[in-house]
A and B are shown apart, each in its own frame.
Chain A
Amino acid sequence: MINSILRFGLIFILLVLLQVLLLNNIQFSGYVNPYVYIMFILLLPVEFPSWLLLLLSFVTGMIIDFFSGSPGMHTSATVLAGFVRPYVLRIVAPRDGYEPGSDPSMLTYGFRWFLSYTSLIVLVHHTALFYLEVFRFADFFRTMSRVLLSSLFSVIFILLIEYYRRGK
């Protein structure tokens, strides 16, 4: 129990640092801003209580907002991601269900499962985030392309990190 709290705490700190120190400063052509911190929400255990998940999403979003100077933007997107996570887990559930007490990792459930799980949540999160950022529907398709491109890069980053984690 203590062990896993420490482990997730470490993952959390590393992801937040990666996000605010490195990725927040990357902008390819104004379209691509990968947001990898959402991976923290992805990695929490399958049976994690959803009210705690929501609170943790809120805290995560607040911290990212704090560092990127955009109060409320990441918070609302991340809380939404935390809210849909149980439903996404239900949608992508493997045929024989989840093993009790397992983590939703690539190691346990395989590459294809992890890819679809990650893509869905990242897509929800990025859609909310980018539309909240522009806060209008005027440039609907421009924003949509930003969502799709950034989601692509975020998913690639998350898969790379997950590969590296498995390798350890």
Chain B
Amino acid sequence: MRNLLNFLARYNNLIIFLILEGIAFYLLATRNSYHNSRVVNGVMGMTRGFEKRINNTRSYLSLHQINESLAAENVSLKNRIELMGRKENSPFFSVTDSVYKQQYVHTSAEVIENSINRQKNFFTINKGELQGVKVDMAVISANSIAGVIVGCSKNYSVALSLLNLDFKVSARIKSNGYFGSLSWDGRDYRYAVLSDIPQHVIVNVGDTIETTGYSAIFPEGALVGTVSDYEKSGGDFYKITISLLTDFKKIHFVDVIGNLKKTEQLELEKLFK
């Protein structure tokens, strides 16, 4: 204690000086828009640089898995192309229209920042407005849903992760088509909860869950996961625990999907609400 007092007495001028300068710098950095923007940009630039470097290393180390998932994705995409070709052999369109056929536009992106351990998780991807990413686009990782874009800057976007208490999407059981509301209960990053499925529906462990496309954000049929457990929760509904297909702990390459006909759909629906 005495040493501390001695120390304070000896350096009191220096301490007062540092305190006053601290206040002055605080004012300088927060109350002047020019200085403030320089400080903020400096800090942001530093952390962005770090994140980029860490990310580079990580993407190199996980090249093997990425290759595998890309190959798997290729196969499934090829299959979907086949399906599409069949769908669009419809005889009712006589005019050649390149727009009506394409409903979704894909942009691939890399996740550069991610969290799974909070109640409200977000992740950041390296594509932004300049690359055509907009708010309310869906984010999909190798065919299974991951999140929704909630904010864009020029070159980066932030997405609301499925692992966020605010995230809700309409999903259905693939085998029988009954749909409910999918959300995350904040407990385990591998599981989510599907509610609002009535109890007369037959549910089996292992059933595939996919999106319905009702929200106009996610395309129809994007995979969510499989049923891992279900129980009767009061009322007439099941509480179904779903094992998520997306592994949020190693999510890296994602597709951002924009629905070109979303505004059309929403505006039409607005008329009846």
Q: Which residues of A contact B (CB under 8 A)?
A: 50-51, 54-55, 57-58, 61, 65, 70-73, 75-76, 79-80, 82-83, 86, 132, 135-136
Q: Determine whether the beta carbon of A73 is less than 8 Å from that of B13.
A: no
Q: Determine whether the beta carbon of A55 is less than 8 Å from that of B16.
A: yes
B20 at the interface (CB under 8 A from A): yes
Q: A51-B12, A71-B28 are in contact. Are A135 and B20 (CB under 8 A)?
A: no
Q: A73-B32, A135-B34 are in contact. Are A51 and B26 (CB under 8 A)?
A: no
Q: Determine whether the beta carbon of A72 is less than 8 Å from that of B17.
A: no
18 A-B residue pairs with Cβ-Cβ distance under 8 Å, sorted by A, are: A50-B13, A51-B13, A51-B16, A55-B20, A57-B20, A58-B20, A61-B24, A70-B32, A71-B32, A72-B24, A72-B26, A72-B27, A72-B32, A75-B24, A75-B27, A75-B28, A76-B21, A76-B25
B residues 249-264 near A (Cβ < 8 Å) are: none
Q: Which residue of B lies closest to A59 (CB)?
A: B20
Smallest CB separation, B197 vs chain A (Å): 59
Smallest CB separation, A140 vs chain B (Å): 16
Query: What is the bound-complex CA distance between A76 and B34, given in angstroms?
Result: 17
Q: Which residues of B contact A86 (CB under 8 A)?
A: 13
Query: What is the bound-complex CA distance between A51 and B12, given in angstroms?
Result: 8
Q: Which residues of A contact B27 (CB under 8 A)?
A: 65, 71-72, 75
Interface of B, secondary structure class, is: helix
B35 at the interface (CB under 8 A from A): yes
Task: Count residues of B near A (Cβ-Cβ below 8 Å).
Answer: 18
Query: What is the bound-complex CA distance between A57 and B16, given in angstroms?
Result: 12
B232 at the interface (CB under 8 A from A): no
B residues 1-53 near A (Cβ < 8 Å) are: 12-13, 16-17, 20-21, 23-29, 31-32, 34-35, 38
Query: What is the bound-complex CA distance between A132 and B13, given in angstroms?
Result: 23
Q: Which residues of A contact B34 (CB under 8 A)?
A: 135
Query: What is the bound-complex CA distance between A71 and B25, given in angstroms?
Result: 9
Q: Which residues of B contact A61 (CB under 8 A)?
A: 24
Q: Determine whether the beta carbon of B17 is less than 8 Å from that of A135.
A: no
Query: What is the bound-complex CA distance between A70 and B38, given in angstroms?
Result: 15
Q: A135-B34, A136-B38 are in contact. Are A72 and B25 (CB under 8 A)?
A: yes
Query: What is the bound-complex CA distance between A29 and B26, given in angstroms?
Result: 31
Q: Which residues of A contact B21 (CB under 8 A)?
A: 76, 79-80
Smallest CB separation, A92 vs chain B (Å): 19
Q: Mark B67-100, 1 if CB is under 8 A from A, else 0.
A: 0000000000000000000000000000000000
Q: Which residue of B lies closest to A54 (CB)?
A: B16
Q: Which residue of B lies closest to A52 (CB)?
A: B16
Q: A71-B31, A72-B31, A83-B17 are in contact. Are A58 and B24 (CB under 8 A)?
A: yes
- Given A57-B20, A72-B23, 13 new contacts (CB under 8 A): A54-B17, A61-B24, A65-B27, A71-B27, A72-B25, A72-B27, A72-B29, A75-B24, A75-B27, A76-B21, A79-B21, A80-B17, A82-B17
Smallest CB separation, A162 vs chain B (Å): 27
Picked from A50, A51, A132, the residue with its CB within 8 Å of the CB of B28 is A132
